[in-house]
Structure 1
Amino acid sequence: MATAGISSATVGPVPFDDVDGELPSSERLAPEGLDHLADMVSSLPSKMEVNLPLKLRLYHGFWLAEIHVPAAVALRRRFVPRPDDVIVASLPKCGTTWLIALTFATMVRHVHCPPAPVPAAASAFASASTSSHPLHRLNPHQCLSFLEGLFARGEEAKLDTLPSPRLMNTHMPLAMLPSPTLATTSANSSGNRGGYKIIYICREPKDMIISMWHYTRHLMPAVSFVETVESYCDNHSAKIYGPFWYHILGYWHASNEMPDHVLFLRYEELLRDPAGNVWKLARFIGLPFSEAEEEAGIVEAIVELCSLDRMRGFEANRTGYVDAQ
């Protein structure tokens, strides 16, 4: 695999797109033996997704894209977390891109300091300025690895080449992941013992449903808004990664039972107080802002770097760049 730019002294996370290369065929792994799983996958209950041209299979109580079922099996059995791993988890259309950007910018701030906030009067000229920050040249989704995409392609060996701490994301239910209290070594760079970190974001269901309908209606124009709403409300309907209530509740209960390992955020609260939630996020992952950083306005600089106006322009939000993986 091409790992240009990574040395043993490199501290993560590094922008995944910068180091992602073609994995030699000898290092590729069939997603837990795809041929062996074919009969199992074909025996699972199936339905077509209401809003997407995808066949879904019911696996362990959740509707997954058929192509991701072998990946889910491989993920449960082969993913080896490190104690300083951070995983951003969510249902689709819940503010994932924004949270990824905020988390990445927070984790890399000592290597890639966010630009100072741009005065309102000069904001129209901000795009003309140059910056070395990865988020000025990359989609946030290109800054981390999408777990089900890697495991679906048998390329999880790429995860082993990444320096710690690693930043990843998934839409998978919590049940598909190793226990957040488990990890491979006794202590991470922040002194935390065992387990990795999950940052989960949920969104007001009505807004999530409306966003999904607008996002997918060019793919399935015959599906009405009423049908979309009904498909979310009926737990027997096939919604990718659903039923959504069970998906949300899995992470919610875990955040109460394992608050040191699962942080549960709400999109609406992130909108109301982005700086306060970035501060909370940094503390949760063991990288709290120092008093000097707060006085220097680093929190506010991260919020501006990852502003919603910038997030809305990313291609992933318009074309499904990531979910297509």
Structure 2
Amino acid sequence: MEFSYPSKSIIASNITTESLQKYREEISTLLKEDGWSPFFHLCLYKGFWFHPFFLDGAMYAQDHFQAQPSDIFLCSAMKTGCTWLKSLSFAIATRGQYDESTSPLRTIVPHDCIPFLEYGEYSTAEGPRIPLFASHLPYTLLPKSIIDSGCKIVYLCRDPKDTFVSMWHFFGKLKNKKPREGGLVSIEEAFELFCKGLSSYGPYWEHVLGYWKESLERPDKILFLKYEDMTNDTEACVKKLAEFFDCPFSLEEERKGIVQGIIKFCSFENLSNLDVNKTGKQVKKDGFLENSAYFRKGKIGDWRNHLTAEMGARLDNIMEEKLRGSGLNF
């Protein structure tokens, strides 16, 4: 796989004022619940909870995004290892164009290398078109053209306890352009909401189940991965990704250490210490986020430092009940 890497001017928001107004009118009619802070109230849209500033882009993508059969989508719930998956996928797919010294990953946060579908960061204009996209959307809310075009999808999930803790820390770092009273709720309060399914793109178990069931039906089109497996055997997962992308590593590439080079370059230790990820920031629609927020720890089992054993057991029991009969477990 080879593609021309588009400039930032190509990856631009396409949502018109008229479209935005239409979507916001629809959003205003949705059921709302308090989220994890006054800034993060949630809206129920077709069975899933969204922050409004993600939802208008999702609606636009559903109406306008035209997938191509060669497109590949990296899908996940929030805070399941998406930053790592993006960096590995980008490095794998562009290894014929860039080496470690010239990779855009050195100067651009991974989330700007592979755009998020629902953030409106793609172009319908003619010109260079990157065939890798990312999305936090549930399977049932992906644009119809993605399914109809037979696009490949990589789905990454993670132990829900670590996912929850990572999400709570992440939202605590989002800076609002217009500060409002009140901050993030306590981790205990956020945990109660998460257990009820009230979280961004939640319920988490429904998000995971949607992609899991489809991966059983279409294993040639949907590659289902666990963060823990990627961590425990990164080399096997990197090779699996390359094969799924139809650009497997040659014996010569393996002999030259290309696989290990990509793993090392995209490691948490390396990426988190790049200047762009230590000092850069992303400007969002309602605020900004320092790039360092995407690189907190990435450790399996870190939830034990923030949740009690009883809380962990409770969430495990919820997941066991929700996933029962599916063949999936954590």
TM category, shorter? 0.7 to 0.9
For 1:179-258, what aligned pairs fall within 5 Å after superposition? 179=144, 180-183=146-149, 195-217=150-172, 221=183, 223-235=185-197, 237=198, 239-258=199-218
From 96, 116, 119, the counterpart of 1:149: 119
What is the one-letter code of the residue matched to 1:175? T
CA contact (8 A) 2:11 2:115 kept: no
Find the aligned partners of 2:155 and 2:11 in 1 and give their Cα distance: 30
Match of 1:3 in 2: none
Aligned positions of 1:280-291 closer than 5 A: 280-291=240-251
CA–CA separation in structure 2 for the residues paired with 1:270 and 1:324: 32
Deviations along 1:98-148, whole A, 9 cap, x unmatched? 1100000000011113x4xxxxxxxxxxxxxxx222222221112122211
TM-superposed deviation, 1:319: 8.8
**Aligned mates of 1:261, 1:323 — CA distance in 2:** 32
Offset, 1:35: 3.0
Aligned with 1:145: secondary structure?
Answer: coil
Residue 113 of structure 2 aligns to which amino acid in structure 1? Answer: C
Q: Cα offset for 1:65?
A: 1.7
- Whether 1:303 aligns to 2:294 is no
Q: 1:141, 1:322 within 8 Å by CA — same for their partners in 2?
A: no
Contact 1:44–1:57 (CA<8 Å) still a contact in 2? yes
Structure with the larger RCO, 1 or 2 (CA within 8 Å, 6+ apart): 1
Query: Do structure 1's residue 259 and structure 2's residue 219 form an aligned pair?
Result: yes
Query: In 2, distance between residues paired with 1:52 and 1:99?
Result: 31
* Deviation digits for residues 214-272 of structure 1 (CA, Å, limit 9, x no counterpart): 2334567552221122111113x3x1111111111111111111111111111111111
Q: 1:74 aligns with which of 57, 60, 65?
A: 60
> For residues 267 and 316 of structure 1, what CA distance do their matches in structure 2 show?
21
Q: Displacement of 1:310 after TM fit?
A: 2.4
Change beyond 3 A, Cα 1:222–1:168: closer
Structure 1 residues 262-273: aligned runs within 5 Å: 262-273=222-233
User: Taking structure 2 as the reference length, what is the TM-score of the superposition?
Assistant: 0.75
Which residue of structure 1 aligns with residue 25 of structure 2? 39
Q: 1: distance between equivalents of 2:184 and 2:54?
A: 26
Question: What TM-score comes out, normalization by structure 1 length?
Answer: 0.76
1:52-131, aligned counterparts within 5 Å? Answer: 53-113=39-99, 115=100, 131=101
**What root-mean-square deviation, in Å, do the aligned CA atoms of Structure 1 and Structure 2 show?**
2.9
Identify if the C-alpha distance between structure 1 residues 51 and 209 changes in structure 2 by more than 3 Å, giving closer, same or farther: farther
**Counterpart amino acid of residue 112 in structure 2:** Q
Displacement after TM superposition at 1:320 (Å): 7.8
User: What SS is found at the alignment partner of 1:103?
Assistant: helix
| 1:174 and 2:144 aligned | no
Contact 2:14–2:120, Cα closer than 8 Å, also in 1: no
Given the superposition, is the C-alpha separation of residues 48 and 318 from structure 1 closer, same or farther in structure 2, using an over 3 Å criterion?
farther
Structure 2 partner of 1:321: 282
Question: Is the contact between residue 95 and residue 267 of structure 1 (CA under 8 Å) also seen in structure 2?
Answer: yes
Per-residue deviation at 1:30? 2.5
Alignment CA distance shift 1:52-1:297 (3 Å): farther
Q: CA deviation at 1:306?
A: 0.3
* Residue aligned with 1:283, SS: helix
Where 2:148 maps in the other structure, the secondary structure is coil
For 2:271 and 2:184, the matched residues in 1 are separated by: 29
Q: Distance in 2 between matches of 1:322 and 1:263?
A: 31
Displacement of 1:181? 4.2
Q: Contact conserved, 1:270 with 1:277, CA < 8 A, in 2?
A: yes
State the alpha-carbon separation in 2 of the partners of residues 61 and 317 from structure 1.
Answer: 37
Residue ranges of structure 2 left out of the alignment (5+ in a row): 175-181, 287-330
Letter of the 1:157 counterpart: T
Q: Give the match's secondary structure for 1:240.
A: coil
Deviates more, 1:220-229 or 1:139-148: 220-229
Check the 8 A contact 2:20/2:56 in 1, yes or no.
yes
Does structure 1 residue 135 correspond to structure 2 residue 105? yes
Contact conserved, 2:80 with 2:156, CA < 8 A, in 1?
yes
In 2, the alpha carbon distance for the partners of 1:22 and 1:166 equals: 13
